Structure 1
Amino acid sequence: MSDAKRLLDERLIRIEKAVNLQKPDRIPIFALNGPEVAIDYCGRHLKSATWNLEIVRESLPIYYQDMKVDAAASAFLRCPGMYTAIGSQNFVPNKDGFMQHPEVCGMLASEYEELIKDPFKTLVDKVLPRQYKAFDQPGGLGGLNLAKGALSYVRYTKILREIDAHCSATVGVPIIFDNMIEAPFDFLADQLRSFMGISVDMHRCPELVEQACEALFPLLLRWGVTSYTGPPKKIPAIFMPLHMPSFLNPKQFERFYWPTFSRLVNTLTGLGYTVTLFIEGNWSKLYDYLGSLNPNVVGIFEYGEMKTIKEKVGKTMCIMGNYPIEALKSHSTEQCIDIAKKMIAEGAPGGGYIFTTGKSILRGKGLDLEKLQAVHQYVIDHGKY
């Protein structure tokens, strides 16, 4: 057996035990980042990499090995060639090549009833042509551009999956998250109505917002399982970033967000999948909701007191995150390690804990990644349950 295969097997066992709320041989370390930070780390140019994915293939294994991580998410990089070709206003590159998601509106407030009646038709007929201008062309040209965009997406995705397999085969890093989905309210806000639009809609037409979330639920449930072949799998998990709750008051959360979100998570876990929630923002007033979700959930927390998080959700949810990447800018190496010590002391007891940062590391610029290496080495040496 090769060293990479041995490491892959050991790390998968380590991760699976933690996800199952057990105690592996030591605390696993997860790399919460996209390929962009690996590209920076290796001294390559992001804009070049988004057009030449061979740079990603070369950079990611080096970053994973040097950072001594036990697992990573599937490589995810929005490639500007495809988005430029389909006239995207939803995702656009900046001068450096990093893809941005600006505040745009794909559905008018007057179109709620159409969405509720037939969400798929509304997405195809109304939303896609607005968000991607190449689809809004006369005759068969719009359909042709749609086919070209789909083929381009399939091509890029295939290459990125091959890069994942390459990382596993060369440096023994398993991919434990795959296939990102959104909660119905997040999808409505992010892709259809925009942050400003949904904020107004909750006051002007609250019943339509509720009905729209219900109408979108079946599509998002189907989205959650389409990337898996064969029976449901616990690993890799389904990744779900939670965008809007930290901007909602508790009454809004309970009325608009929680019903379809909780049903989506519980349905997927009931089918046998693991769902990983990226819990963005401050959820300190909402921990009791999270604690009521079914098991087979992993929570990556951006903020919060680790001790409180463990007490509130640790009996049913594997806990990750919470390490402040800002410390890698302003703190000494010793101080960065001290933060990790405190997190381990509060998060690890009883099992079900994976070490990672509270935010996804988007770029290496401005961060002292040698400090992160030292923190990871401390976790490896001293991260016992």
Structure 2
Amino acid sequence: MAKKYAEKLDRVTKTINLEQPDRVPFMGIIIGSWAAGYAGYTMKDIFFDYTKYDLAVNQVLQNFDFDCVRIAGGARPGPVFQALGESAKGFTTPGSQSPDDSILQYVDVSYMEAEEYPELIKDPFAFIFEKILPRKYPALRGNAPQQAIALAKSGMLYTKFGSAMRGFTQGWLNNYGNLSLTRGSARAPFDMLADFLRGFKDIMYDLRRYPEEVCSACEALLPLAIKGAKHSFGGPPQKFPFIYMTLHLATYLGPRSFEKFYWPTFKALIQALTDEGYGFLLFFQGNWNAYLDYLTDLPGDKGQILALFETVDMKRAKQVLGKKMCLAGNFSTELLLFGSSNEIEAHAKSLIDDAAPGGGYILTTDKSWLSVQDVKPEKVQILMDAVRRYGVY
């Protein structure tokens, strides 16, 4: 396993550093719900019995020899949410708020009123802690002793969850030579504001009605975003593994609004953390064809950013960004449900031809694998075989 890990690490790090390895790496994007379905468990199982999450991922890693993986969560700590009153309005809990086998569901909720922007801007941490969290979780709405008990209990349960996950991760490395690309996560300030405070619908109103407040709120949230990323990473800064960041709402804004509301604090976040030596795996959700030129101005040295795209003209992305950052993604997940073997192979070969010359490309799908009903295991294997056939340098 040590030899296998060393081979994968050499292949992947050369690719990330824009050097030419022996072949194009393939990255598996494993969501807990996909692993659970593959192993015969429900989402309720892995929410409340973490050992079943470990067993599920073990089965996946035993049967699929990925070059690298992003094990993208999916096992949310059910007992923590129960301790907080289980009313995490933004997400549903399998077994109580949704069926046992339902994948994670996001519900668009606004926890903050537009009139509260000044309070958020003045002290975002206090506002979130004192106003937003009690609105999300019933157990935090009582008197001070009740709040303290709920926080202490949920904190202990979350510590137990985190300890279990760290142990599982080490086991996956030891047992399967598993190379995980990420550790910790971050959020762009605009996404923090939109996803966790105002909600998708209301933030779109705010761009027209309260544009300066939105900009000021993003600036106020920037220090929290930096601190949160460092805390989730743990330990001293290092370029690899990467901090993971999903860029959620950027492409909903249009280029002009993106430049005003999203780009300044997103770029500042990347600047602050890459200056300290961290690296990023950035998942560019949506269609980024109109935004590629912005990304040429992202801070960071060669090898500090891995750009995972959902939808982009990969040939143009290689031309624009290929000398600055490693590229990944853009393989249609739909083909792993509806595609024939020939279609899967042809799409993989096309992406390799467009993005892999000279190194700097990791082939993976354009979306995470949510369900075995959406991404068929046998078609994942076809894709992996195609990468090994066509991706040799």
* One of 216, 227, 230 as aligned partner of 2:221: 216
Aligned match of 2:34 = 37
Measured in 2, the distance between the counterparts of 1:293 and 1:310 equals: 16
Aligned match of 1:92 = 92
Aligned match of 2:205 = 200
Measured in 2, the distance between the counterparts of 1:200 and 1:73 equals: 34
Aligned match of 2:68 = 71
* One of 7, 10, 13 as aligned partner of 1:13: 10
Secondary structure of 1:32 counterpart = strand
For residues 7-156 of structure 1, what are the structure 2 equivalents within 5 Å?
A: 7-74=4-71, 76=73, 77-87=75-85, 88-93=88-93, 94-95=98-99, 96-156=101-161
Call closer, same or farther: CA 1:65–1:377 in 2, change over 3 Å: farther
Map Cα deviations across residues 121-141 of structure 1 (whole Å, 9 max, x no partner): 111111111112211112310
Report if the CA contact (8 A) 2:91-2:107 is conserved. Answer: yes
Map Cα deviations across residues 207-242 of structure 1 (whole Å, 9 max, x no partner): 111000000001101111113444311111000000
1:307 matched to 2:307? The reply is: no
Secondary structure of 1:140 counterpart = helix
Per-residue deviation at 1:266? 2.0
Per-residue deviation at 1:75? 5.6
Aligned match of 2:392 = 384
Aligned match of 2:279 = 274
For residues 235-274 of structure 1, what are the structure 2 equivalents within 5 Å?
A: 235-274=240-279
Map Cα deviations across residues 291-340 of structure 1 (whole Å, 9 max, x no partner): 22123111110012211111121111110110011012222112111110
Per-residue deviation at 1:74? 4.5
Q: Which amino acid aligns with 1:42?
A: A
Report if the CA contact (8 A) 1:182-1:241 is conserved. Answer: yes
Measured in 2, the distance between the counterparts of 1:268 and 1:334 equals: 43
Aligned match of 2:230 = 225
Aligned match of 2:341 = 333
Measured in 2, the distance between the counterparts of 1:279 and 1:143 equals: 39
Aligned match of 1:343 = 351
Measured in 1, the distance between the counterparts of 2:370 and 2:154 equals: 26
Measured in 1, the distance between the counterparts of 2:186 and 2:50 equals: 24
Map Cα deviations across residues 152-202 of structure 1 (whole Å, 9 max, x no partner): 112112111211111111111122112121100000000000011111111
Per-residue deviation at 1:283? 1.2
Report if the CA contact (8 A) 1:328-1:336 is conserved. Answer: yes
Q: Which runs of 4+ in 1 moved over 4 A?
A: none
Report if the CA contact (8 A) 1:22-1:352 is conserved. Answer: yes
Aligned match of 1:187 = 192
Measured in 2, the distance between the counterparts of 1:331 and 1:157 equals: 38
Task: Point out the more displaced range, 41-50 or 116-125.
Answer: 41-50
Aligned match of 2:177 = 172
Per-residue deviation at 1:67? 2.3
Secondary structure of 2:288 counterpart = coil
For structure 1, the 5+ residue unaligned runs are none
Secondary structure of 2:289 counterpart = coil
Q: Which amino acid aligns with 2:19?
A: Q
Report if the CA contact (8 A) 2:29-2:369 is conserved. Answer: yes
Per-residue deviation at 1:21? 1.3
Q: TM-score, normalized by length of structure 1?
A: 0.95
Task: Point out the more displaced range, 121-130 or 225-234.
Answer: 225-234
Report if the CA contact (8 A) 1:269-1:297 is conserved. Answer: no
Report if the CA contact (8 A) 2:369-2:375 is conserved. Answer: no
Secondary structure of 2:362 counterpart = coil
* One of 315, 319, 327 as aligned partner of 1:319: 327
Measured in 1, the distance between the counterparts of 2:15 and 2:345 equals: 22
Q: Which amino acid aligns with 2:345?
A: I
Call closer, same or farther: CA 1:338–1:74 in 2, change over 3 Å: closer
Measured in 2, the distance between the counterparts of 1:174 and 1:150 equals: 29
Q: TM-score, normalized by length of structure 2?
A: 0.94
Secondary structure of 2:246 counterpart = strand
